[in-house]
Structures are given as C-alpha cells and as structure tokens.
Amino acid sequence: MINFYGINKQYGSFQALKNINLHIELGEVVSIIGPSGSGKSTLLRCINGLQKPTGGELVVHSMKIMDPGLKIKRLRRNVGMVLQEPNLYPHMTIIENLILAPVQVAHLSPVVARDLAMHYLNKVGLGDKRDAYPSQLSKGEQQRASIARALVMKPRIMLFDEPTASLEQEMVEEVLAVIRGLAREGLTMVIASNEISFAREVADRIVYMDQGRIIEEGTPADLFNQPKQRRTRQYLCHLQQ
C-alpha cells in the first residue's frame, strides 16, 4: 500500500529524511512517534505529495511519487490528511466546507455531495452542526469536522499529523475517539502522534524516528515494553517524566 525505498528529503543543507525504508500494508495502522524535528511530518507530507523526496523511491497505492507524470489530484483523492490545525474555511458553514472538494474535485452533484457530507458529519458526531460556521465550534469540534472533510473524499489512506497537538486536554479524547472508530473499520492509517497510550491501543505497529531516521519499529507491546535501541528507551523515559 505504502512503500518507502531509501527515501531522502533535503532542504538546502538540512536533511529531513535519511534513507527511510518503510512498508505499510493495506488496513494497517502505523503510529509514528519521535521528538519535534525528527521527520514525522515530512514523512507524512511525502506520502500525499505535499513534499517531494529528493532521493529514493516512494510508491503509494501503486502510484510512484517521484514520477514526473504523477497525477497529484488522483493521489490526493486516495490519501486524506488531517493536520494539527483544522484549517476550515471561516466564511463557509461546516457543510459547505465538506462539499467543496467532492463537487469541485470529484465532480459530484451538490445533492449527492451533501448526502455524503451528512453521513460523515454524523459519523464524527457533528450532524447538528452542519449549518454552523467554524468560529461557532470548539477546537475539538473543528478538528472532528476536518476529519469528516477528509473522509468525504473516501480515501484509501488517512494521514494524521499530530491531530491533537493544538487541543486542550479535555478536547483530545473526542478526536481520538473518532480515530479509534476508523481504526476498527480497517482503514489504512499513518498517525504522527506522541499520545503513547492511544498509540498502544490502536496501532498495529509503532515507528520511532529521530533526526530524520527510523531508529526502531515493532508492535506496541515490543517497542513500548522492550525497546531494543538505547535512543528509543531514552525517548520513552523522557515522555513518561
């Protein structure tokens, strides 16, 4: 489903990703942990084409990211992404935010798009907020709306880049509950987050990154309970302090 072969990403003299080899299977939930600046966000952005690797090969759902002929719209229809900030259009209602891409990109009729949008708003518990504006929602509700907006395109892969990082603690759980539900449905997901208890619960595999490299990967039980690498042990100890 997602295959990294020796991927590098360079920004001038700074190398954000260093020889990344990672393979994610259909239906797998992979949680990427690591300190700020470790390369987690860059890795996700390469998967959906927001960033282009400078070396190696990356194949996402049979599409070669380095291919000059890559159809970026096709890629992003198959790969949904939720960022730290919801980034909803403030002048549009929630339902208008959700139907924009299905109508303009997927060329659905407004009626079909609206029915689809309502399905996903109900799925994230926001059906009654369809006519509200983003400013009328809590930050947690806005983030749930952004998840619904990504889902309405029916992606095969969902990427989450620190989806709870900007939320107050009482709002974190409502967003994580939505992601838990998606995990139970078998959607392929890659989640960059340091919510360790959440990662332990939902992930099939944990990947620890530091300084642009994958230091260690394994099942939640193996990596959290018996990490093999000293840097992994140090990082986990730091998180628990």
The amino acid occupying position 182 is L
pLDDT at 241: 65
Q: 89-121 burial string, b = 16+ CB within 10 Å, else e? A: eeeebbbbbbbbbbbeeeebeeeebbebbbebb
40 within a domain of the structure (yes/no): yes
Q: Residues 197-211: what's their mean pLDDT?
A: 94
Q: State what percent of residues in the chain have pLDDT above 90.
A: 90
pTM (predicted TM-score):
0.95
What CATH number has the domain bearing residue 226? 3.40.50.300
63 within a domain of the structure (yes/no): yes
210 within a domain of the structure (yes/no): yes
140 within a domain of the structure (yes/no): no
φ, ψ (nearest 5 deg) of residue 112: -65, -40
Number of domains in the chain: 1
186 within a domain of the structure (yes/no): yes
Q: Residues 176-194: what's their mean pLDDT?
A: 93
